[in-house]
Amino acid sequence: MADGPVLADLHFGREDAERDVTDGLLLRGGFLPNAAYRAAVAGRKMLIIGRKGSGKSAICMQLMADGASHCGKALVTPDETAGEEIRRFELQGLPGDSAKALIWRYVFAVHAARHLVTHAKDAHGRKPDSVKALGRFLKQNGEPSGGRLGDRLAQGARGLQTSLSLEAFGVKAGLDLAQAPSEGARAARQLEVVEQAVARAFADLGCDGVHGPLLLMVDQLEQVWSAETDSNSMVIGLLLAAKHAASLYKRSVRFLLFLRADIYDSLSFGEGDKYHGDELRIVWTEQALRDLALARARASAGAELTAEQLWREIFPETVEDEETATYLFRRCLPRPRDAIQFLNRCRDTAFEHERDRITEADVLQASRQFSTWKLKDLSLEYLVAHPFLRNLFPLFQNTGYVVSRAAFTSRFETAADTLHRLFPAYADALTPSGVVDILYGVGFLGVRRGSDVVFAGDDDLPVQPHETEFHVHPCFRAALGATSAIDLLPYEPSLASARIATGNISPGASGNTGLNRDDQLLQALVRSCHSVLAQIGRAVRLPHDARDEIAERINRVLDDARGVPSGAGAHLDVEAHLLTTAHYFTALAAQLGASGLDDTVDGAAGVARRLEEEAQRLRRLAGGSYGSSGDSAGT
């Protein structure tokens, strides 16, 4: 690839869409249109829902930068001042959700009015009386074209709570509105006057069918949200307002609300079932992330870059015997931000080592750093909803990444008192089953279903009571030190030095072709290993990763025994080695028994029982008389 791009040219963009627009790759070919984007452009969906970093704001930024598919666009991103205005907005006589719906409806009406005042002249060359009335209304109520959203919201809130100036629409202050039975009723009647005036102006201009609609988008609500009633009412009010306004303004205005999944899923209100048809959840597959990586690589390093060059020449072809792209995207949560961070970390690691290509060692080093980042980021992502999350991670530290429900329950019980003391307000949720549900929901744990392990996003079904096998997501394993399927003692070979010492060992006495006792013991050890391996092969209820892990340990024992030349007994204590191996088998059996994995004969229990049986046989062999096979004794 001598003529191709070098590492210094390669960059996968910024992690946040806002900076990616100004100095990144988002608008230079680095945006990958997905189902959510296409649905937003076509107007088929109103609610775009996704996790943090899933690309909601990227879609929003791309829509703002798109051409003439809409006659106008407005983006509402509340800052803390604006959020505080909405959260504390109340009206006597109305519940919190309905009151906050009114302030959102006012925001939409004002944006539409401001658009109509400029759009009438620029696109239609005329200003009907209805549009002129909107201009007077904006001026009389202190709604200039600029200004901070928080200031404008404060002005609108005061108007709704007291009285708006409606003279522009022929309604005198203090007239019929003053007779409203409550503050909420008066605000609703005032707002209806404004909304009807906006709808009339759209009709007078005849915009419907002539050009695209006005696009009103709301993003970044998570910046002003907290897990409290008034924050939930703020979001519920937004949903109610958008549905009302979409019905009122019909095809003249299109609404797009970008909501974080954890916020939307926490809402509970009577009309929630009416929004399912408007929902679209952002889902990223491994192939989609591959396509995104290539699009961004091309945007930075050159459009001629091919997938073959990216994944075989710039990146190593494999990492730990796994295709590199698969290795990378299995170890990050399925969302663009994580993929971009991981890819950039690999590139930066190679650059720091002054290499012109990314090596396997660079990817492995980047993986450890990335895993540490993501474990910390996960707790921060859910700090509002689950402030105790980081305190749960030690339950999975320095142990196997396959965890049974029984083993987790045992671990949790040791930490329960501390968790309840630190987070008393969440005591009802801090139960073994409650914590499993939370860890599954945030993507930390996956659950075994049939032959697959599924994570949140792969399957909408929550964890079921009968499901008992959980897996820590590969993204977090390195940071936790949970890189093995189950927590097993390492096998430390005691015969390695004997292989070296006996490289030129002399054979036994001339004419004696029979095996001596030490050789017979080593062959018995080989048979024990084969017996255990056969049982592991039949343990179909054991997780695949756990079976591989146990088999790998037994194969080390087997390789060590096979590597001893015949007649090596003069240089090592074979009986002691058998006793050491028997102790190791017993320890593995105990760990399997304590793992809480399936305890049937074709699961962990069957393997543990076979390990115990072979351990007993090896102990008898080590203490038996010369020539005894030890196999005749009962087990």
Contact 57, 266 (CB under 8 A): no
Taken in order 406, 409, 413, 418, the sign of the CA dihedral is positive
Q: Is the pLDDT at 505 greater than 50, yes or no?
A: no
* Number of DSSP helices (H) and strands (E) in the chain, helices first: 23, 11
- Residues contacting residue 528 through CB under 8 Å, at least 6 positions apart: 581, 585, 614, 617, 618
Distance CA 202, CA 113 (A): 9
DSSP-assigned beta bridge partners for residue 324: none
511: confidence class by pLDDT, cuts 50, 70, 90: very low
Distance CA 343, CA 310 (A): 11
Calculate what percentage of the chain has a pLDDT beyond 70: 85
Q: How far is CA 628 from CA 163, 523, 624, in A?
A: 103, 13, 6
Q: Is the pLDDT at 268 greater than 90, yes or no?
A: no
Pairing type for strands 47-50 and 279-281 reads parallel
DSSP 212: P
Distance CA 399, CA 339 (A): 26
- CA-nearest of 610, 593, 586, 603 to 533 is 610
Question: Which range (174-188, 213-227, 283-297, 603-617) has the least confidence?
Answer: 174-188
Q: Is the pLDDT at 565 greater than 80, yes or no?
A: no
591: confidence class by pLDDT, cuts 50, 70, 90: confident
Residue 459, helix vs strand vs coil? strand
512: confidence class by pLDDT, cuts 50, 70, 90: very low
Q: Is the pLDDT at 592 greater than 50, yes or no?
A: yes
Q: How many CB atoms lie within 10 A of CB 562?
A: 13
Contact 412, 435 (CB under 8 A): yes
**What's the pLDDT score for residue 567?**
62
Residue 318, helix vs strand vs coil? strand
Range 445-468 average pLDDT: 87
Range 62-87 average pLDDT: 78
517: confidence class by pLDDT, cuts 50, 70, 90: confident
Distance CA 112, CA 92 (A): 27
442: confidence class by pLDDT, cuts 50, 70, 90: very high
DSSP 503: T
Query: Domains, the chain, ranges and CATH?
Result: 7-12+285-381 (1.10.8), 35-281 (no CATH), 399-480 (no CATH), 496-503+514-623 (no CATH)
Distance CA 49, CA 35 (A): 12
Single-letter amino acid code for the residue at 386: H
Which one is predicted more confidently, 513 or 610?
610
Q: Is the pLDDT at 506 greater than 60, yes or no?
A: no
Cα of 114 vs its chain's centroid, Å: 39
Q: How many CB atoms lie within 10 A of CB 59?
A: 27
294: confidence class by pLDDT, cuts 50, 70, 90: very high
Single-letter amino acid code for the residue at 626: Y
Q: Is the pLDDT at 624 greater than 70, yes or no?
A: no
CA-based Rg of the chain, rounded to a whole angstrom?
A: 34
Q: Helix/strand/coil (H, E, C) string of 116-163?
A: HHHHHHHHHCCCCHHHHHHHHHHHHCCCCCCCCHHHHHHHHHHHHHCC
Length of the chain: 635
Distance CA 34, CA 331 (A): 22
Taken in order 563, 565, 568, 569, the sign of the CA dihedral is positive
Burial zone of 510 (CB within 10 Å; 0-12 exposed, 13-18 middle, 19+ buried): exposed
Range 330-349 average pLDDT: 93
Distance CA 525, CA 575 (A): 11
Phi/psi-derived region of residue 630, left when phi > 0, alpha when psi is between -120 and 50, beta in every other case: left
Contact 163, 174 (CB under 8 A): yes
222: confidence class by pLDDT, cuts 50, 70, 90: confident
Q: Is the pLDDT at 289 greater than 50, yes or no?
A: yes
Q: Is the pLDDT at 307 greater than 80, yes or no?
A: yes
**What's the pLDDT score for residue 22?**
54
Contact 473, 446 (CB under 8 A): yes
Q: Which helix (H) or strand (E) holds 402?
A: strand 402-404
**What's the pLDDT score for residue 57?**
85
**What's the pLDDT score for residue 508?**
38
**What's the pLDDT score for residue 296?**
87
Range 436-462 average pLDDT: 88
Q: Is the pLDDT at 197 greater than 70, yes or no?
A: yes
Question: Which range (273-277, 446-450, 624-628) has the least confidence?
Answer: 624-628
Query: Rounded mean pLDDT of the chain?
Result: 83
Burial zone of 416 (CB within 10 Å; 0-12 exposed, 13-18 middle, 19+ buried): middle
Range 159-168 average pLDDT: 82
**What's the pLDDT score for residue 509?**
38
Distance CA 370, CA 378 (A): 12
Alpha helices, DSSP H only, in 423-455? 432-441
Highest average pLDDT, of 106-110, 316-320, 495-499, comes from 316-320
Q: Which helix (H) or strand (E) holds 18?
A: helix 17-23
Distance CA 578, CA 553 (A): 16
Q: Which helix (H) or strand (E) holds 216?
A: strand 214-218
The CB-side HSE value for 399 (13 A sphere, CA atoms) comes to 17
- CA-nearest of 289, 290, 336, 309 to 9 is 309
DSSP structure string for 72-85:
EEEEE---HHHHHH
Contact 328, 342 (CB under 8 A): yes
**What's the pLDDT score for residue 68?**
54
**What's the pLDDT score for residue 633?**
39
**What's the pLDDT score for residue 492?**
66
CA trace torsion 26, 27, 31, 35 (10° rounding): 120
556: confidence class by pLDDT, cuts 50, 70, 90: confident
1: confidence class by pLDDT, cuts 50, 70, 90: very low
Taken in order 326, 332, 333, 339, the sign of the CA dihedral is negative
- CA-nearest of 347, 86, 359 to 224 is 86
634: confidence class by pLDDT, cuts 50, 70, 90: very low
Q: How many CB atoms lie within 10 A of CB 227?
A: 15
Q: How many CB atoms lie within 10 A of CB 139?
A: 13
437: confidence class by pLDDT, cuts 50, 70, 90: very high
Q: Which two tokens stand for residue 59?
A: 């879609």
